[in-house]
């Protein structure tokens, strides 16, 4: 079980874990050993995650439980319970565990395993493989999960050869930059929002604000699981027609999430937009039609999840030749390595 953080295939390069001199505990023939109990408990959590069973997680997680992601970010029990609840609505998930090892330290135990999570969407499915280390403690004779850590492999952007049309007026940063980063995202996508709050701030500081690259936010609402995403994208486009695209973009990606129709109007008013003009734009069917056209173009490029990024070079006005694809909200170092490699070719 883990908080699923990517929307595409990831392949694990196994990290070596060392837990002192304690050897893995093996079940004894015909006995219900501690290792068997813990392995069953770990499987019970995976099963509960698949079906969105919050009650099981509430029972088996310690109150002070923490989750440490592969990027080092820390979340707590309440965050994990919220994520489990969303599985009922978002997608079908199946999790399989292999190479299970149990290490005992008195009233503490660590279980490591290689897990494969398959996520089934409306029109596609993706698979993620990762190493998970779960730490359990026994209190009052009952085992509870106290911490969980996931390990992901070093990631390298993959090569692509795509030609993509962009609106020059909607380029952030240097509108004439030779290198352009294009993000396919959804305003209701939790991982897009997390990326905006963390990694994107570093990219803005080192590459966009100083004009080293151009940046395009490409609307790709996942409307099957995100009912507010389409109208949010429309609202940003309408704000853009009054010169406030990036201000609205930042508001909609900020926390707490506020994307209802009333929220969108409040955001527009706070930006001092012409509200009559904004309402007409939001209600104009052609505005939503233009967003849906962009969605179709993304699907034709086989981009069906968020966040996904293309990095490319400017060929002509309004046309970018994408040469690298980053499939997920990876840490800053992945973007830095990818951007620097292409920037070097243009210097």
Residue 134 parent element (H or E): strand 125-139
Q: Residue 287 in contact with residue 238, Cβ under 8 Å?
A: yes
∠ CA 126-79-138, rounded to 5°: 100
Buried residues in 5-34 as b, exposed as e (16+ CB within 10 A): bbbbebeeeeeeeeeeeeeebeeeeeeebb
What is the rounded (10 degree) CA torsion for 314, 316, 319, 320?
Answer: -20
Q: What SS3 class is residue 67?
A: strand
Q: What SS3 class is residue 131?
A: strand
Band (pLDDT 50/70/90 cuts) for residue 174 is: very high
217 has which bridge partners?
183
Token duo for residue 340: 């620097």
CA distance linking residue 290 with residue 282, whole number of Å: 12
CA distance linking residue 220 with residue 297, whole number of Å: 10
Q: According to the CATH classification, is domain 158-346 in 3.40.30.10?
A: yes
Q: With 50 as the cut, is the pLDDT of residue 28 above it?
A: no
Distances (CA, A) of 165 to 53, 152, 297: 43, 33, 9
Q: What pLDDT sits at residue 12?
A: 25
| Domain residue ranges of the chain, discontinuous segments joined by + | 34-151, 158-346
Mean pLDDT across 66-86: 83
- pLDDT tens digits, one per residue of 281-320: 999 999 999 999 999 999 999 898 899 999 999 988 889 9
Band (pLDDT 50/70/90 cuts) for residue 131 is: confident
Q: What pLDDT sits at residue 128?
A: 79
CA distance linking residue 314 with residue 301, whole number of Å: 18
Pair type for strands 142-151 and 61-68: parallel
Distances (CA, A) of 276 to 239, 261, 285: 12, 15, 16
Q: What pLDDT sits at residue 123?
A: 61
Alpha-helical regions (H) of 76-213: 77-90, 190-197, 199-203
User: What is the phi/psi pair of residue 148, to 5°?
Assistant: -140, 135
CA distance linking residue 187 with residue 204, whole number of Å: 18
Q: What pLDDT sits at residue 1?
A: 57
CA distance linking residue 181 with residue 166, whole number of Å: 11
Q: What pLDDT sits at residue 103?
A: 87
Residue 167 parent element (H or E): none
User: What is the phi/psi pair of residue 130, to 5°?
Assistant: -155, 160
Distances (CA, A) of 115 to 40, 53, 155: 15, 19, 18
CATH architecture of the domain covering 34-151: Roll (3.10)
Q: What pLDDT sits at residue 2?
A: 54
Q: With 70 as the cut, is the pLDDT of residue 21 above it?
A: no
CA distance linking residue 98 with residue 89, whole number of Å: 27
Q: What pLDDT sits at residue 127?
A: 76
pTM (predicted TM-score): 0.62
Q: With 50 as the cut, is the pLDDT of residue 75 above it?
A: yes
User: What is the phi/psi pair of residue 220, to 5°?
Assistant: -140, 75
Q: Which of 127-131, 266-270, 308-312 has the lowest mean pLDDT?
A: 127-131
Q: What pLDDT sits at residue 124?
A: 62
Alpha-helical regions (H) of the chain: 34-51, 54-60, 77-90, 190-197, 199-203, 229-240, 245-253, 261-270, 275-283, 285-300, 332-346
């Amino acid at each position: 079980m883990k908080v699923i953080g990517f929307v595409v295939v990831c392949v694990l390069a196994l990290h070596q874990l060392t837990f002192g001199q304690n050897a893995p505990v093996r079940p004894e023939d015909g006995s219900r050993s501690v290792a068997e109990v813990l392995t069953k408990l770990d499987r019970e959590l995976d099963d509960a995650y698949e079906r969105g069973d919050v009650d099981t997680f509430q029972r088996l997680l310690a109150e002070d439980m923490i989750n440490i992601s592969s990027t080092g970010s820390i979340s707590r029990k309440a965050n994990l319970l919220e994520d489990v609840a969303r599985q009922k609505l978002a997608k079908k998930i199946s999790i399989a565990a292999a190479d299970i090892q149990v290490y005992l330290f008195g009233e503490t135990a660590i279980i490591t395993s290689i897990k494969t999570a398959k996520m089934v969407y409306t029109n596609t499915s993706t698979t993620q493989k990762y190493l998970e280390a779960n730490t359990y403690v026994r209190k009052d004779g009952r085992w509870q999960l106290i911490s969980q850590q996931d390990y992901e492999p070093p990631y390298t952007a993959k090569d692509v050869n795509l030609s993509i049309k962009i609106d020059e007026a909607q380029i952030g940063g240097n509108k004439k930059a030779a290198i352009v980063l294009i993000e396919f995202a959804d305003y209701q996508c939790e991982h897009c929002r997390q990326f905006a709050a963390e990694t994107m701030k570093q990219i803005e500081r080192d590459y966009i604000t100083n004009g080293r690259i151009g940046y395009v936010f490409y609307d790709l609402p996942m409307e099957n699981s995100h009912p507010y995403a389409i109208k949010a994208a429309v609202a940003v486009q309408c704000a853009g027609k009054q010169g406030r695209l990036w201000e609205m973009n930042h508001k909609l990606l900020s926390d707490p999430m506020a994307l209802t129709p009333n929220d969108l109007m409040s955001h527009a008013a706070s930006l001092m937009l012409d509200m009559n003009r904004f309402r007409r734009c939001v209600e104009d069917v052609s505005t939503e039609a233009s967003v849906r056209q962009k969605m179709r173009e993304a699907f034709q490029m086989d981009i069906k999840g968020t966040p996904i990024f293309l990095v490319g070079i400017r060929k002509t006005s309004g046309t970018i030749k994408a040469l690298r694809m980053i499939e997920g909200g990876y840490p800053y170092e992945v973007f830095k390595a990818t951007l620097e490699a292409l920037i070097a070719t243009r210097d």
